[in-house]
Amino acid sequence: MTKGIETVLDECLACLADGESLEACLARYPQFRGELEPLLRTALTLRKAYARPAPSQEALARVRRGFLAEAERRQRALAERKRRGWLRWQPQFSLSRGLATALLTLVLLFGLLGGGSIVSANSLPGDPLYGVKRASEKMLLLLTFDAQQRAALERQFESRRVEEVKKVVEQGRQVEVDFAGVVEKVEGEIVFVQGIPLRWVSDQPPAIGTEVHVRAKAQGEGPLEVKALAVREPAPAAAPVASSPTFTATATVSSERRPSDTPAAKPTDKPTPTYTIPPTETARPTETATAEVTATEMPSLTATPTRTPTRPPTATPVPPPEGVKVRIEGRIDEITDAYWTVNGERVLLQRATRFNLTRAPAQVGGWAVVDALKTGDGRLLAEEIVVMRGAEQPPVSREFSGIIEAIAEGRWTIGGREVRIVGDTVIEGTPAVGALAHVRADQYADGRLVARRIVVESEQVVQFTGIISSIAADRWVIGGQEVWIDTNTRIEGQPTVGAMAEVEALQRADGTLHARRIRVEPPASPEAAAPTAEPPETAVPTAIPTEGASS
């Protein structure tokens, strides 16, 4: 009769109490070693912590005398109650050995979830306390009854497994590990799951984007050797079943087939097509996701005069192209068990998705940064989600500078950002489209920027014409004037040294020129395009009124 874990634990505790060693107990039940070892080690630790020195003979005698006196007193009191008829019955309570084992198990479990989990938190596969760590995780899942919280814990523990494997690889350990994740890349016989290289020895590796559970052996250096790999979500069928003809029971695969079972053997007077099974196909059961139906070649399955439609060839599944890592940052719009919506993008959750909730809890209206893998079919698979701010957290102060691109009632566009103007916004300077502005604003969890102070630099628009004598990445020299170029500069024509250019720029308070528009005139001839030997005359900028300056 097979013993259960409770019986085995009870016997091992009794053996330890009799002085037997821990290894001897574990050797007696090797099939329960992984579960017994952390529990028995915790029991030994508790026994040592609460150990007391042996009492002296005098103390034992004193306790014995007190015990006998108390027993005699209770017997007299019991006899007196019986004599008076007050005591009719008295329940006898005793703790069975099984109940004592259960109570001890509860004590050990609380030890595992408390001090044991703290001590073993940083343990890795192969460490003595790693079993305690895994056992505490299992108990925590067992005691979590809310489905969403349990799912979040499972994802957190699977992320922890991935980090443990990476540390094992970094430290060069040789130990068996297990973890789950998404296939990110395949290079020959090396498969990358969550950034961990695995050596794949089978013929067909799993497709990119597939969720797998891996049991592997770390070799100390190089890729891990796969011991077992299970696909959690099988790839969808390449051809839907509805696109193929509907076959009756005669199209099922069997070890033998009678000619009378096939519709083609029956005579028909109608010109409508009959679905027959070609005799060239063989009866091999297939586990692929195609709609191929096979049958054993029989002499009676010959071509008939009836018109038989040709079944289209089965589409071969093509693995999607290698995923691209992307980063999404923005407001958390929706949270479900299967996906999050961040900044308008739906990001699918995986078992290996890592969650960082140290800064703020996950709440709709909060702010999150998502590192995801974008597959060839457009899906976004979340690898890590970091919640930066919660929905109820105060705004964060931001400071930036940019060109004023638009001015509307209650909101401006500065440097590509929409800034809201409220009653207590302080504006210094004369606002105008094209002017440079320095902004201090509060950014809320939903992404809103509310301006507290805007300083508009005093500058004027100038125009001049000159020959381009130098072209660099961020500045040109035109007509002897140094002109700064940025992403807001609109360039017309093909810029070349020696070409004539018309410039419209902003002259700031420090005298620098920041180009808004440069129009390059094409040279009339190759000779005209070449720079002259004489230095060009310095172009004098002509100031023109700034748009909106009169307002």
Rounded Cα distance, 467 and 469, in Å: 6
- Residue 500: pLDDT over 90: yes
Mark out the alpha helices in 112-226 (DSSP H runs). Answer: 117-119, 130-142, 147-171
Q: What are phi and psi of 150, to 5 degrees?
A: -65, -40
> Is 248 or 211 the better-scoring residue by pLDDT?
211
- Residue 138: pLDDT over 50: yes
Per-residue pLDDT tens digits for 276-333: 334 444 444 444 444 444 444 444 444 444 454 445 445 454 444 467 999 998 889 9
Per-residue pLDDT tens digits for 373-395: 999 888 999 999 999 888 777 88
**72: burial class by Cβ within 10 Å (0-12, 13-18, 19+)?**
exposed
Per-residue pLDDT at 32: 83
Does 2.40.50.140 match the CATH number of domain 147-231? yes
Q: How confident is the model at residue 427 (pLDDT cuts 50, 70, 90)?
A: very high
| Poorest-pLDDT segment among 132-146, 265-279, 409-423, 503-517 | 265-279
Q: Which fold has domain 396-456?
A: OB fold (Dihydrolipoamide Acetyltransferase, E2P) (2.40.50)
- Percent of the chain with pLDDT strictly greater than 90: 22
Parts of the chain belonging to CATH 2.40.50.320: 396-456, 460-544
Rounded Cα distance, 306 and 274, in Å: 7
Per-residue pLDDT at 237: 41
CATH architecture of structural domain 324-389: Beta Barrel (2.40)
> Is 103 or 288 the better-scoring residue by pLDDT?
103
Give DSSP secondary structure letters for 49-87.
Answer: HT--PPPPHHHHHHHHHHHHHHHHHHHHHHHHHHHHT--
Question: For every residue of 331-356, which 3-state class applies, written as one string?
Answer: EEEEECCCEEEECCEEEECCCCCEEE
**What's the Cα-to-Cα distance from 413 to each of 84, 448, 488, rounded to whole Å?**
97, 13, 13
Q: What is the pTM of this model?
A: 0.30
Per-residue pLDDT at 300: 42
Per-residue pLDDT tens digits for 434-461: 788 899 999 887 788 999 999 988 767 8
**What's the Cα-to-Cα distance from 265 to each of 244, 268, 301, 305, 467, rounded to whole Å?**
22, 9, 8, 11, 90
Q: Are strands 436-443 and 460-471 parallel, antiparallel or unpaired?
A: unpaired
**What's the Cα-to-Cα distance from 246 to each of 53, 137, 271, rounded to whole Å?**
83, 49, 19
Per-residue pLDDT at 42: 83
The residue-averaged pLDDT of 349-357 equals: 91
Per-residue pLDDT tens digits for 224-245: 888 888 887 544 444 443 344 4
**CA-based end-to-end distance of the chain:** 97
The class level of CATH for 460-544 reads mainly beta
Highest mean pLDDT among 96-105, 136-145, 450-459: 450-459
**What's the Cα-to-Cα distance from 504 to each of 131, 222, 285, 344, 493, rounded to whole Å?**
72, 60, 76, 39, 15
Sequence letter at residue 490: R
Per-residue pLDDT at 120: 62
CB 383 within 8 A of CB 353: yes
- Percent of the chain with pLDDT strictly greater than 70: 68
Parts of the chain belonging to CATH 2.40.50.140: 147-231, 324-389
Quote the DSSP letter at residue 135: H
**What's the Cα-to-Cα distance from 368 to each of 145, 160, 341, 434, 445, rounded to whole Å?**
27, 20, 10, 33, 9
Q: Which helix (H) or strand (E) holds 286?
A: none
The residue-averaged pLDDT of 519-537 equals: 61
Rounded Cα distance, 227 and 238, in Å: 29
Q: How confident is the model at residue 53 (pLDDT cuts 50, 70, 90)?
A: low
Rounded Cα distance, 232 and 153, in Å: 18
